Structure 1
Amino acid sequence: MEIGNKGIARLSIVPVRSEPKDAAEMVTQLLFGDHYTITDISDNKQWCRIKMYFDGYEGWIDAKQHHAISNEYFEQINNSDYKICTDLSATILFNKHQTNIVMGSVLPISTNEIFKVEEQLAFNGEAKSLSSKRDVEFLIQTAKKYLNAPYLWGGRTPFGIDCSGFTQIIFRMSGFKLPRDSKDQALKGELIEFDKRQAGDVAFFANKDGKIIHVGVLINENEIIHSSGKVRIDSFTQEGIIHSDSQQNTHKLHSIRRIIKL
């Protein structure tokens, strides 16, 4: 294991932490199939700092959860139109062992059911091409699969997900690339006036200092799906999010942006 080496997630979920220790904040997660480059190694060799290929996000993973791949395989992944799992959860046969994966995992499958470079994998669930761009209806139906998933800081799965991770992964499954954090997502797409909002638009919310702290996706002009306590649907107004149970304005609207253009 050296700086510059390549790796790939070969567990269903790999925590990525802010510091090289188990008690550190989890800033994001690798899902099965996410690949990365090692940028640093801890003094005790027990942690490696990685940079994810998909969104450039960086953090520390346990060296025991690092799965090394060659530079050639890394480039093969970059240049291949692989599949992304659209089942809530699924089981794959990976190198002759069963592995559980979750929605949003990347599978080295092209037109054949089994694809072999350095590994062998078989999968019979639902998946779509990473490069295939889908419409707003697909985006919203994908988002609704996460309903009631608990909020988890740094999470990216149907069993725990944060607001920006939720937005990023449903757009990734729809064929669109967004950064990991909401403040960076707010720089993408086209700025939309409130009275021109529509389903599929991304709404951002700020604190009293104007800092973006939350994000969600409109499912129609008056409702938003977002991760707050859990993935839920609430009312959306010019003031922001109105909690469907308490009727309180929980998040103040900052801006609306359009990623998928009709």
Structure 2
Amino acid sequence: MKRILPFLLIFYACSFSKKNADNIVYKVGQYFAPDKRVVLYDLTYNNGILKGETSSFLAYQALKDSLGRLDIDYIDSVQVLPIDTNKHAVVSLSVANLRSEGRHSSELVTQALCGTPLLVLKQEGGWLLVQTPDAYIAWVDEGGVTIKNADEMNAWERSEKLIFTNTTGYLFKDSTYSETVSDLVAGDILKLTKKGADFSHAKMPDGRAGVVLNDQVDLVSNWSKEREVNDAELKEVAFSMMGVPYLWGGTSVKGVDCSGFTKTIYFMNGYIIPRDASQQVNEGQLIDEDKNWENLQTGDLLFFGREATDQNPEKVVHVGMWIGDDRFIHSSGKVHISSVNPQDSLYDEYNVNRYLRTKRIIKSHTDGIKPLASMLEHR
């Protein structure tokens, strides 16, 4: 890829005159930041000033190189994010809501669980623009995270941790279990301070301490090594969320949208997959495009939406997980099971008619599929 980039940049640069520097800005953005959900690229060239901000140093450098090849003079007012590389954040609520803009009334676009490390791109008022381990960029209320410097972040990462494996539960103040410190949901990560016979002492990332029942947690170090994605494990997680209400932007057992549901299933089986259905469809191995249901295996992801036409591109809008016996489980209204078999009482004619393709995530090695252990590595 590195060898290809110079050639592409020269091609782009030679395709424009000095009068069209704004086109160079656009083309570089199209190449390096085609998905604005994961790469921030908001740059402009006006009256000899190159300004704006980007989270991609490669895009910034490529743009400068392209303008330089055309001898275009400019004043550089670009801000490359993150602004402060020493500032890190860890989610300190059971579930933190991440929004499209830095205010509570803006759209919920995703969620992050307790213990999730976030790359802090910038801060405005009481809000942080962050990037999640699945690369999603969104705003989070500062009250939902704990800010750490590099040394504090390293200490957090080196600490022994627990992962909450029950669907829901609590961090209790003490072993009387009469007062709670926080609610907990599947996937939350806590710092282990002392292991006991029936319960363990643990801390939230913000330092709040309490005890958690041992049969509801596991050591992250053991849990991540023991994850072997198979039919039974995938079904167990999926079925444990039956009836969970649909929530646009939700990625936790408190509420999930369709892709948040499939993301959660794989997260609790040790894998991070992209956030949205239109991103998940680009991962894994293509299994079917012709409704040959016999080729599908439990865990395969089925994608639905609008087929491409001469006038419109394909649009992926829904995803579910195959569970066998002509059935799939998905979040629409609530998490429930549907069937592709017209003879089944759960037949879902609407989604069958807009079916696009099936992709297999299990044992696939595409770029957007990462082991959960990578989430705990220093970023």
Sort the TM-score into its range (normalised by shorter chain): 0.7 to 0.9
- 1:207 is matched with 306
Quick one: distance in 1 between partners of 2:359 and 2:159?
A: 30
Q: Give the structure with the larger strand fraction.
A: 1
Contact 1:205 1:254 in 2 (8 A): yes
Q: Give the structure with the larger helix fraction.
A: 2
- 2:216 is matched with 126
Task: Please identify, of 104-113 and 54-63, the stretch whose mean Cα deviation from structure 2 is larger.
Answer: 104-113
Quick one: distance in 2 between partners of 1:118 and 1:24?
A: 26
Q: CA shift at 1:205, angstroms?
A: 1.1
Contact 1:84 1:173 in 2 (8 A): no
CA distance 1:38–1:261, change in 2 (3 Å): closer
The question of 1:41 aligning with 2:123 is answered yes
Quick one: distance in 1 between partners of 2:258 and 2:237?
A: 15
Q: CA shift at 1:29, angstroms?
A: 1.2
- 2:257 is matched with 162
Contact 1:203 1:215 in 2 (8 A): yes
Alignment deviations for residues 134-190 of structure 1 (CA, whole Å, 9 cap, x no partner): 322111111011111110000122231111111111101111220111111112221
Residues 49-128 of structure 1: matches in 2 within 5 Å? 49-52=129-132, 54-75=133-154, 82-93=161-172, 98-109=181-192, 112=195, 113-114=200-201, 119=207, 122-124=211-213, 125-128=215-218
Letter in 2 for 1:249: Y
List runs of 5+ in structure 2 lacking aligned partners. Answer: 1-82, 309-313, 365-379
Quick one: distance in 1 between partners of 2:160 and 2:271?
A: 14
Question: SS state of the match for residue 164, structure 1?
Answer: helix
Contact 2:304 2:351 in 1 (8 A): no
Contact 2:170 2:180 in 1 (8 A): no
Q: CA shift at 1:12, angstroms?
A: 1.8
Q: CA shift at 1:17, angstroms?
A: 0.5
Q: TM-score, normalised by structure 2?
A: 0.60
Question: SS state of the match for residue 174, structure 1?
Answer: coil
Counting matched residue pairs gives 254
List runs of 5+ in structure 1 lacking aligned partners. Answer: none
Q: CA shift at 1:77, angstroms?
A: 5.2
The question of 1:244 aligning with 2:352 is answered no
Contact 1:19 1:59 in 2 (8 A): yes
Task: Please identify, of 105-114 and 222-231, the stretch whose mean Cα deviation from structure 2 is larger.
Answer: 105-114
Q: Name the % identity.
A: 28
Alignment deviations for residues 52-86 of structure 1 (CA, whole Å, 9 cap, x no partner): 1x212111112233311232343455567844322
CA distance 1:73–1:191, change in 2 (3 Å): farther
Task: Give the number of the structure with larger relative contact order, counting CA–CA contacts within 8 Å between residues 6 or more apart.
Answer: 1
Residues 129-144 of structure 1: matches in 2 within 5 Å? 129-134=223-228, 135-144=230-239
Question: SS state of the match for residue 238, structure 2?
Answer: helix
Q: CA shift at 1:109, angstroms?
A: 4.0
Task: Please identify, of 120-129 and 192-201, the stretch whose mean Cα deviation from structure 2 is larger.
Answer: 120-129
Letter in 1 for 2:340: F
Question: SS state of the match for residue 271, structure 2?
Answer: coil
- 2:270 is matched with 175
CA distance 1:155–1:256, change in 2 (3 Å): same
Task: Please identify, of 127-136 and 110-119, the stretch whose mean Cα deviation from structure 2 is larger.
Answer: 110-119
CA distance 1:126–1:255, change in 2 (3 Å): same
Q: TM-score, normalised by structure 1?
A: 0.84
